[in-house]
């Protein structure tokens, strides 16, 4: 039993004592199913505070010979699966429990405590080899400096294979961004362990977790034998990315929290196979503090987001404004090199933000979007305090527009819409109905702080252009917005009344105040007009 070699189960035992613990032991059914097969190498990347370290400690406790963890797993899902499916692949639960020599590495202290980044890899290997010499006396030749050679020598003497767990595997790439030499040394260490002719001889299985997928060189992964799961493609591990909607609903029931409000603040990540997923840290903080707020700043400060936005690559400004307004943006994730320095395009930055958790990703449509209120707040802060003043100005103008609308200041609304139209739409596309819709949606991006937005929604005897429905926590009135082209703002208001668009609100059991907003653009004058009425 050691710190790195065959460690005890203390870390996982402490997690189980946590009253807000959510049982994710089902992932062990997967790692058992690929043990000793060509798929035995697993890399599962996801953002900070999505439970990466919890899982690494659990897997270590399960496989490690030094853990004696039968009592810890007795009441968990993996043990129940074993009983219910005795002839299934999960029947090997007891067979594999604490049966393997495990090397468990958390890269954070190796990086944080190194006197020099150049010594990280050599220090790591030296520390692990020293423990291996104690655990396997007379197996490692004197002067052996590489972990690969040490494991191979142990295998030749004993026939033993190892299960390797690496938590925060990409820490070197994140903290030593510019030290190419140590990055290459680290990748070569991993290649020697996981991409050599002797890998099957010395490795029974591996589980790596971090924020970034495995580093690419050109178009190829540095470790092609790993089966990778990420925020882009979580595959069969989707339910282990974070808390599922069912798990969050149960926690809300147990701790007397408003589930609808929880959805508003923290929902947004979604995978086809399991539905909605929540950041575990946000839900745990919500339970602890009993207050709906942004807890993102305690884990990943907005300065890092601001820095990426400030890179201001082609089209990034428009993409950010679109997403702040609730829209989605199509990207190509293929050029991203899985590091934080090789960023050569807007799509690279947006792909990185998916891995960091700042954006959610729809695999089918290849689109990214801001997932929820909590993260959106971080974007707003980053934009307001960043160097990209055009973005900050757009947010401030939108704040002013919403305020003018609620005060029924028709002239101010028309003037602000006019300003945004001129700034956002190119001359060749200016006289276009879709351009007007785009401008209005972007102009009212501040509404996303207080409203749910619906477009072309059926109700009454037609389709309302835009509905801003107040969130449960908002005291603001609902906004029914109708757009006209070469007609009049008054005609837009008349259409809302004549076609009884107000009946739409019955769908949402809304009985609060309504504001009718008519907007018209004249191609002859190049001017916008506005009419606002309270619905009676």
DSSP string, 118-187: GGHHHHHHHHHHHHHHHHSTT-SPTT---HHHHHHHHHHHH---EEEEEETTTHHHHHSTT-HHHHHHHH
In a domain? residue 156: yes
Domain end point (choices 345, 366, 387): 387
- E strands along 249-330, which residues? 269-271, 275-278, 329-330
Q: In b/e form, how buried is each residue of 292-327, taking b as 16+ CB within 10 angstroms?
A: bebbbeeebebeebbebbeebbeebbebbbbbbbbb
> Is 406 within the bounds of a domain?
no
pLDDT value of residue 375: 85
Contact call for residues 512 and 478 (beta carbons, < 8 A): yes
Instruction: Choose among 84, 33, 27: nearest CA to 61.
Output: 27
In a domain, 206, yes or no: yes
Residues 164 and 247 both lie in one domain:
no
Which residue is associated with the tokens 């009676």? 536
Both 79 and 138 in one domain: the answer is yes
Number of domains in the chain: 3
Burial 14-41 (b: 16+ CB within 10 A, else e): ebbeeeeebebbbbbbbbbeebeeeebb
pTM: 0.79
> Nearest 5°: phi and psi at 474?
-100, 145
Radius of gyration of the chain (CA): 28
- Contact between residue 514 and residue 535 where contact means Cβ atoms under 8 Å apart: yes
Rounded Cα distance, 87 and 85, in Å: 5
**Which residue is listed with tokens 């501040």?**
446
Whether residue 309 is contained in a domain is answered as yes
Rounded to 5 degrees, φ, ψ at 226 are -80, 140
CATH code of 64's domain: 3.40.50
Spatial neighbors of 146 by CB under 8 A, at least 6 apart, are 125, 189, 192
CATH assignment at residue 433: 3.40.1350
Residue 248: both structure tokens together: 């969050």
Residues 14 and 84 in one domain: yes
C-alpha to C-alpha distance for 254 and 273, rounded to whole angstroms: 26
Do 100 and 168 fall within a single domain?
A: yes
247 and 219 housed in the same domain: no
Taking the CB of residue 116, how many other CB atoms lie within 10 A of it? 9
Q: Are 200 and 364 in contact (CB under 8 A)?
A: no
User: Are residues 201 and 254 located together in one domain of the fold?
Assistant: no
Residue whose pair of structure tokens reads 């943006």 in the numeric block: 329
Same domain, 429 and 517: yes
Question: Does residue 37 contact residue 102 with C-beta atoms inside 8 Å?
Answer: no
- Give the C-alpha distances (Å, rounded to integers) separating 431 from 142, 483, 512: 79, 14, 36
| Residue 1 maps to a domain | no
How far lies 15's CA from each of 19, 54, 167, in Å? Answer: 9, 7, 16
Residue 205 belongs to what domain range? 10-229
Residue where a domain stops, chosen among 185, 202, 229? 229
- Do 205 and 60 reside in the same domain of the chain? yes
Question: Distance from first CA to last CA of the chain, Å, rounded?
Answer: 75
The answer to whether 225 and 193 have CB atoms below 8 angstroms apart is no
Q: Is residue 371 part of a domain?
A: yes
402 by Cβ neighbours in 10 Å (0-12 / 13-18 / 19+) ranks as buried
Based on the domain organization, do 221 and 245 belong to the same domain?
no
**Quick one: 431 and 372 in the same domain?**
no
Segments of the chain scoring below 50 in pLDDT:
86-90, 298-301, 426-428
Instruction: State which H helix or E strand residue 213 sits in.
Output: none
Q: Is 468 exposed, middle or buried (0-12, 13-18, 19+ CB in 10 A)?
A: buried
Give CA–CA dist 408/413, Å, rounded. Answer: 8
Category of 474 on φ-ψ map: left (φ > 0), alpha (ψ -120 to 50) or beta: beta
Residue 533 CA, chain-centre distance (Å), reads: 41
pLDDT at 158: 96
Tokens 């819709």 -> residue: 437
Nearest to 30 by CA among 207, 288, 191: 207
Shared domain for 211 and 251, answered yes or no, is no
Q: For the chain, what is the largest distance between any 2 Cα atoms, rounded to a whole number of angstroms?
A: 91
Residue 393 within any structural domain of the chain = no
State which of 387, 408, 432 marks the end of a domain: 387
Q: Buried b vs exposed e over 365-385: b needs ≥16 C-beta within 10 Å?
A: eebbbbbbbbbbbbbbbbbee
DSSP annotation of 266: H
Q: How many CB atoms lie within 10 A of CB 81?
A: 20
Question: For residues 384 and 399, is the Cβ–Cβ distance under 8 A?
Answer: no
Closest CA to 527 of 450, 419, 388: 419
* CA 200 – CA 192 distance, rounded (Å): 12
Residues 215 and 287 placed together within one structural domain of the fold: no
The answer to whether residue 125 is domain-embedded is yes
Give tens-digit pLDDT for 14-50. Answer: 988 877 789 999 999 999 999 999 999 999 999 988 9
């Amino acid at each position: 039993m050691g710190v790195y070699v065959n460690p005890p189960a203390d870390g996982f035992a402490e997690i189980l004592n946590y009253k807000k613990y959510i049982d994710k032991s089902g992932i062990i059914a997967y790692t058992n199913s690929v043990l000793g097969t060509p798929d035995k190498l697993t890399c599962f990347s996801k953002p900070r505070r999505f439970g990466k370290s919890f899982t690494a400690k659990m897997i270590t406790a399960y496989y490690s010979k030094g853990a004696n963890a039968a009592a810890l797993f007795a009441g968990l899902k993996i043990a129940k699966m074993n009983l219910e499916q005795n002839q299934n692949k999960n029947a090997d639960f007891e067979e594999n429990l604490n049966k393997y020599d495990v090397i468990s590495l958390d890269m954070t202290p190796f990086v944080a405590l190194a006197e020099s980044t150049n010594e990280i890899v050599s220090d790591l290997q030296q520390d692990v080899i020293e423990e291996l010499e104690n655990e396997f006396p007379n197996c490692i030749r004197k002067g052996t400096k590489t972990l690969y050679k040490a494991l191979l020598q142990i295998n030749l003497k004993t026939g033993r294979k190892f299960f390797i767990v690496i938590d925060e595997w990409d820490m070197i790439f994140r903290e030593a961004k510019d030290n190419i030499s140590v990055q290459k040394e680290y990748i070569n260490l991993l290649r020697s362990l996981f991409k050599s002719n002797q890998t099957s001889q010395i490795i029974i299985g591996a589980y790596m977790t971090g924020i970034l997928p495995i580093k690419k060189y050109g178009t190829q992964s540095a470790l092609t034998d790993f089966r990778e799961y990420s925020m882009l493609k979580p595959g069969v591990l989707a339910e282990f990315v974070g808390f599922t909607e069912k798990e969050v609903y149960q926690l809300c029931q147990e701790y007397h929290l408003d589930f609808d409000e929880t959805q508003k603040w923290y929902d947004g990540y979604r995978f086809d196979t399991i539905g909605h997923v929540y950041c575990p840290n946000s839900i745990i903080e919500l339970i602890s503090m009993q207050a709906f707020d942004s807890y993102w700043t305690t884990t990943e400060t907005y300065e890092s987001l601001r820095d990426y936005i400030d890179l201001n690559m082609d089209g990034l400004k428009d993409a950010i404004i679109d997403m702040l307004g609730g829209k989605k943006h199509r990207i190509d994730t293929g050029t991203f090199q899985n590091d934080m320095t090789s960023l050569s395009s807007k799509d690279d930055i947006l792909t990185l933000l998916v891995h960091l958790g700042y954006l959610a990703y729809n695999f089918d449509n290849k689109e990214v979007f801001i997932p929820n209120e909590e993260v959106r707040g971080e974007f707003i802060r980053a934009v307001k305090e960043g160097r990209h003043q055009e973005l900050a100005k757009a947010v401030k103008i939108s704040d002013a527009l919403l305020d003018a609308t609620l005060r029924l200041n028709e002239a101010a609304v028309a003037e602000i819409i006019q300003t945004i139209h001129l700034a956002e739409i190119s001359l060749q596309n200016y006289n276009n109905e879709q351009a007007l819709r785009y401008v209005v949606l972007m102009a009212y991006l501040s509404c996303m702080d207080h409203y749910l937005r619906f477009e072309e929604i059926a109700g009454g005897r037609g389709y309302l252009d835009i509905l801003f429905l107040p969130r449960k926590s908002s005291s603001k009135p609902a906004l029914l917005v109708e757009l006209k082209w070469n007609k009049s703002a008054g005609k837009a208001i008349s259409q809302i009344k004549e076609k009884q668009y107000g009946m739409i609100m019955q769908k949402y059991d809304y009985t609060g105040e309504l504001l009718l907003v008519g907007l018209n653009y004249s191609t002859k004058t190049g001017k916008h007009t506005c009419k606002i009425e309270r619905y009676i």
